[in-house]
Amino acid sequence: MAYASIAPRHLLDRELSPAQARWFFLLAVLAFALPFILADYRYVDDNWRSELDVQRAWRVEGRILAEVFYRIMTFSGVTVDIFPLPLLLACVAMAFALAALVKHYFIEPRLSHCLVVLPLWYSPMYLGNLTYQYDGPTMTLSMVAAIYAVIWRGRNTLLNVLVPGCLLGVALCLYQVTVNVFVGLCCIELIRAVRFQLPGRSVCSLLGRQLGQLVLGLFVYYASAYQLMHTDRKGMLPLNAEGLGELGLRAGRIMHKISLFITDGNGWMWIALAVLAAIGYLWIALRQLRALGLAGLGGVLIYLLVPLVLAFSIGGMILPFAEFTLEARTLMGLSPVLVALFYLAQFSLSRVHPRLEWLLVIPLMCMLSLSFVYGRVLAAQKTLERSLAQDLHHDITRLPELRNKPVYWTSVDCTGAWLPALSGTLENLPALRFVLSLKPCEMDTVENLTDLNLEANDDLFLRLMVHSTGQRLVDNKYYDIWLLNGYGYVNIKPVDKTPKLPSE
């Protein structure tokens, strides 16, 4: 009986070996990715990436290493669909990276310490990245490279800049938005430096080294993959009052999207986490001033700017570009912000009692449950698309007016995912509609009906012409089929029960 009461306490408190940490993270990472593997949903981008005539698509997007990755993985020069193998390999790489990161943060990591770094993978925004069967694994590998760029340490000062800078360049050649993750993790390094009461001169030296790594990484990317990028993606906002005003509007839109994840059911949890993090943040600053006095003032001044940089890194590099793409996948910068919150909250809780660190399980379970709910959304979307494809195939083939005639796919103006079957879920969790971010015209149905020469056309004028002068051949619950000038037109209908996103 005595052994039974002591053993659990020993297991919770003892240091994890590197192998144990990797196994824990591998199980945790796979648990978060499991809904995507089970859903096996091909997102809109996955459909055209699987076509053999778009091999250079990643290249013109400035992501040449993503193309190289799939050429190696498929042992061919084409993007053959081998899902979920790339995702499984990326999960293994992420598990190793998280194990290295927790060892970097906590010299003798315990199981509760592992909870602190899991939000890098469990971030609600990262659901958008994993939605892509082709791009999700390469985005994950990009984050892995950014993690190692931050934690790499060598004996030579020059190598401490060169190696992380090159790793960051590799990360950017896989996915450019990962620079936001790198900046966020660097902010956590500054927090750690002040927590361990390094003098202001050492904190400034760390900041200088990080800036050098960032500049070198950007230069490596500029000298390589950036030169292959399509010119339409290189435009920037003007440096004037209008451009600054647009930056403010974009930042506001990003904050609005993040707020969608805070609901009546989990609001108390996020408030508690923020309060604990704020207490830890101020506690660390006061300890630094009390211990070092004026010698630590420079470090504290840098430390006080960290929250501003962290907030900026959520949007980061996507903010100043003329082509502003606000999707969950472009907000990877939220992941290190969550890690920073967990790190500061862990500091507060551990000062009261080490066992209280396990309270961090609650927000992690919230994020994990969101992943499984989102998996059901993907499954429902897949079912809807297949059902629509079957109905359309039946209706189009039976109509003599459309035999051997091109048929065009049009849609209504609609924001977000179009899932009548999950209208209640999406109404209570509107963030999932933002993560899925599909319009009716972007569904997989067009790709499923290539044998019928179905082509997408979302021209508003054409849709009005069809409605005013065309002949309706089919009146379905979800779509109409029209005939105009010998051509067929599939018009997706609005669904009254589809919930609207709050106005931006």
Q: Say if residues 288 and 299 touch (Cβ distance below 8 Å).
A: yes
Enter the DSSP assignment of 239.
S
In a domain, 503, yes or no: no
- 353, with CB counted inside 10 A (0-12, 13-18, 19+), is exposed
**363 falls within a domain:** no
Identify the pLDDT of residue 3: 34
Task: Give the per-residue pLDDT at 11.
Answer: 61
Residue at 369 is within a domain: no
**Reported pTM:** 0.91
As a dihedral over the C-alpha atoms of residue 459, residue 465, residue 467, residue 469, rounded to 10 degrees, the angle is -160
* Closest by Cα among 90, 92, 78 to 136: 90
- Residues 80 and 189 occupy one common structural domain: yes
The answer to whether residue 376 is domain-embedded is no
- Claim to verify: residue 406 and residue 310 sit in the same structural domain: no
What per-residue confidence (pLDDT) applies to 385?
Answer: 82
Same domain, 109 and 223: yes
Q: What is the DSSP string of 427-468?
A: HH-THHHHHH---GGGSTHHHHTGGGTEEE---HHHHHHHHH
357 is a domain residue: no
CB 375 within 8 A of CB 36: yes
Q: What is the pLDDT of residue 4?
A: 38
Same domain for 449 and 337, yes or no, is no
Q: Which of 331, 352, 373 is the last residue of a domain?
A: 352
Which pLDDT belongs to residue 8?
44
Same domain flag for 407 and 292: no
What confidence score (pLDDT) does residue 442 get? 63
67 and 189: one domain? yes
- CB contact burial 37-64 (16+ within 10 A = b; e otherwise): bebebbbbbbbebbeeeeeebbbebbbb
Number of domains forming the structure of the chain: 2
Pair (331, 386) in one structural domain: no
Q: What is the pLDDT along the chain (504 residues), one digit of tens a residue?
A: 333 334 444 566 788 999 999 999 999 999 999 999 999 998 888 877 776 555 678 888 889 999 999 989 988 777 788 999 999 999 999 999 999 999 999 989 999 999 999 999 999 999 999 999 999 999 999 999 999 999 999 888 899 999 999 999 999 999 999 999 999 999 999 999 999 999 989 999 999 999 999 999 999 999 999 888 876 666 777 878 888 888 999 999 999 999 999 998 899 999 999 999 999 999 999 998 888 777 778 889 999 999 999 999 999 988 988 788 899 999 999 999 999 999 999 999 999 998 999 999 999 999 999 999 999 999 988 888 888 888 888 888 888 888 878 888 776 555 445 677 777 788 888 899 899 887 665 666 666 666 666 777 667 677 778 778 888 899 887 888 888 888 888 887 766 544 444 434
Residue with tokens 């902010």: 187
Q: How far apart are CA 477 and CA 494, in angstroms?
A: 10
Are the C-beta atoms of residues 115 and 357 closer than 8 Å to each other? yes
Domain limits for position 271: 2-240+253-259+267-352
Judge if 73 and 174 occupy the same domain.
yes
My answer on whether 408 and 345 are in the same domain is: no
Residues 328 and 426 in one domain: no
Answer yes or no: do 405 and 488 share one domain. yes
- Is the residue at 340 inside a domain? yes
H or E, element range at 255: helix 241-259
502 in any annotated domain:
no
* Residue 374 in domain: no
Q: Which two tokens stand for residue 484?
A: 């105009």
Residues 347 and 391 both lie in one domain? no
**Around Cβ 154, how many Cβ atoms within 10 Å?**
12
Are 484 and 470 in contact, with CB atoms under 8 Å apart?
A: yes
